[in-house]
Chains A and B, each alone.
Chain A
Amino acid sequence: MASPIADLTYRNYDGPLEPPINRWWAIAKLSMKLSTKKKGFWAWSTLSAFWYIILLIFFYFTETVVSNVGAVGQKASPINNLIWKDQFLNAFGESQLFLFILALLMGAGTIANDNRAKALLVYLSKPCSKLDYVIGKWLGIFVPMTIVTAVPALIFYMYCLMSYRSAGFWTQDPWLIVRLLGMILIPGTLYSSITLAISSMFQQGRLAGGVFAGVYFISYFITLAMEGAYVSMSMGGSNPPGIVKGLFYCSVDGLQAAMAKIILHTNGSPKLPIPGGAKFQVPEPSTFIFVPAFFGVCALSLLIAWSQIRAVEVVR
C-alpha cells in the first residue's frame, strides 16, 4: 500500500544497467567534455585554421582585383596556376604548431593527472578493463583532434568545389576528397598515441607536458636544420642527398608532413606563389619507409602506455 509520504532514505538503484562491456565510450565522452570546456581548446582550434582564412582572403582580393582591372584575361589570375592539393598541405603544415599545443592541452595530462588523483582505482573498481581505459582515453584525444583538423579543411574544400571548378579544382585530382579524409586522420592518430605514452609515464601532468614539449621541439630542430641544409644546398645548385630528405621527416611534425605528402601524393609547393619556389620543397618521401614508421611509432607508443598503466600498486 502506497504511503502518502515517500520514503526518502537510501534506496537501491533498480533502473536499467547495460552489460559490463565496452565502457570505453563513457571514458572518451568525459575526456572530450573536459577538453572542450577549456577556453584554450577553442582559441587554439580557431587559430589552427588561420592559413585557410589567409587563403580565402587572398582569393577574394585576387578575384576582386582581376574583375576590376578587367583588361587582364582570366588566364593571368594566379588562382589558375595553383596546385590545389598543395594548398591543403600548406594549411596543414601551418596548423601543426597549433595542433601540437592542442595535443599538449588535451593529452599531456590525460593519464598523468589520473595517476596523481589515483583515478584508476575508480575506473578499475567499476566494470571496465584496462583496454576500455586505453581505448577511451585514445578516442578522447583522437576525436576532437580530428574534428579540429577536418572542419576547416572540409569547409575550404566545399568552397573551392563551388567556386573554382573552372580553375581546375575538380579536374586536377577528382579523388582529392578521399585523400583529404585520409590526411585529416593523421594528427589525431599520432598525437593521441604519443601523448598517451608520455602521459602514462608521469604522475604530474606538467612534467608530462614538459617532456612532450621537449620531444616535440628537439625533434623539430632536426627538421629545421635539415630544411636549412636542403634550401642552402638547392640554392647552391647541388642536389641534396637522400639523408637530408629523410631526416627532414624525422620529427613529430615531420612525420605528419611525410604522411600528408604521401596521402596527397605531392611534393608540395611554396606557400606564396614565387616562381621557381618548388625546388626548395623537400619532395614526397618513400611510402615504404614512412607509412610503416608512422604506424610503428603509434603502435610503440600505445605499447608503452599499455605497459605503464597498472591496475593496482602492489603493496608488500
Chain B
Amino acid sequence: MEGAIFMQAVRENLRFRRVIPWLFLGGVVVLGFAMNWETFQPGADKESQYAAVSSIFVFHILALISAILTSTILNQEVENKTIVYLLTRPVPRWKLLFFRYLACSLVVAALASINAVFASAGVYHGLSGNSFLIKDIAALTVGAFAYGAFFMLIGLLFNRAMIVCLLFAFGWETAVPNMPGQMSYLSINTYLQAIAQHPSTGSNKGLAALSAALGENSISTSTGYITMIVFIVVLVVFGAGWFTHFEFLPREDAE
C-alpha cells in the first residue's frame, strides 16, 4: 500500500509534460551559462565559476521546482476534488501525506541534482574533477526535503498556497540571506549554502548578492545538516498531525 502511494506519486511527478520544462532549463540555460561562465567572471577559477552558477541558478531553480511540484502532494488533489477518493480509503492519513511528500521531494531532489550535474559538466567540460558536486547534491536533496516540508505545510494551511510559495522562494529566499546580522538564519538557503560550502565569490558584490552570500554566513556544515533535519522533522510531523486532525474538503459550493 505504501509502495503504491509512493510509486503513483513518483509517476505523477515524472510525467513527461511536467519534467520536460525542468530538463530544458537544466540542459539549455544552466549548461549554457556554465560552459561560458568564464566570460562573465573573467579570471575566476573553476571552483568559483561552478559555485557561482550553482548558487545563482541551481539553488534558485530548486526553490522554484519545489514550489511548483509540492502542490501535487495535496493542493492539486483538493482543488481537483479527487482527494475524496484517497481520504475514504483504509490508509492512515499520515501515511498518505508522508509517502506523497517523500516521492515529491525525491523527484525535486533528482531534478535539481540533474541541474547541478549540468552546471558541473558545463564548467569542468565533463563529469569528473568537481569536488563540490557531491556536496551540492547532498545540499540539494536536503533542500528539496526542507522546501518540500515547508511548502507542504503552507499548502495545508493556506488556500492560495502557490503564490505564497513563489513569493517565499523568490522574495524571502533571495533577500533574507543577504541581510546583515542574524536575519540570514531565517532562510533555508543560508543553511543549504552552509552544507554546500561554496567558495566565496570574492569582491564581486553583484554576484555575491545573487548567490546569497552577502550576509555573515559562518554556519558549519554539521550545524546546517542538524538544523535542516530538525526543521524537516518538525514540519512534517506537524503537517501530518494537522492533516489527520482537520477536515480536507474541496471548497463547499453553496450546496
Q: Which A residues form the contact surface with B (CB < 8 A)? A: 204, 206-207, 209-211, 213-214, 217-218, 221-222, 224-229, 231-233, 238, 241, 243-244
Contacts and interface: CB of A to CB of B under 8 A. Distances in A.
B137 interface: no
B68 A224 contact: no
B209 interface: yes
Interface stretch (B34-42, B85-93, B185-193): B34-42
A226 B40 CA distance: 7
A228 B209 contact: yes
B160 A228 contact: no
B145 to A, nearest CB: 20
B163 interface: yes
Classify chain B's interface size.
Answer: 20 to 34
A24 to B, nearest CB: 30
Contacts of A210: 67-68, 71, 162-163, 165-166
Given A213-B166, A218-B64, 13 more contacts: A206-B79, A213-B163, A214-B67, A218-B25, A221-B210, A222-B29, A224-B206, A229-B40, A232-B204, A232-B205, A241-B39, A243-B36, A244-B39
19 contacts: A206-B162, A207-B68, A210-B71, A210-B162, A211-B21, A214-B64, A214-B67, A217-B170, A218-B60, A218-B61, A221-B56, A221-B60, A222-B29, A225-B33, A228-B207, A228-B209, A232-B41, A232-B204, A232-B207
Interface in B166-224: 166, 170, 204-207, 209-210
B57 interface: yes
Interface string B53-93: 00011001100100110010000000100000000000000
Contacts of A231: 206
B159 to A, nearest CB: 10
A231 to B, nearest CB: 5
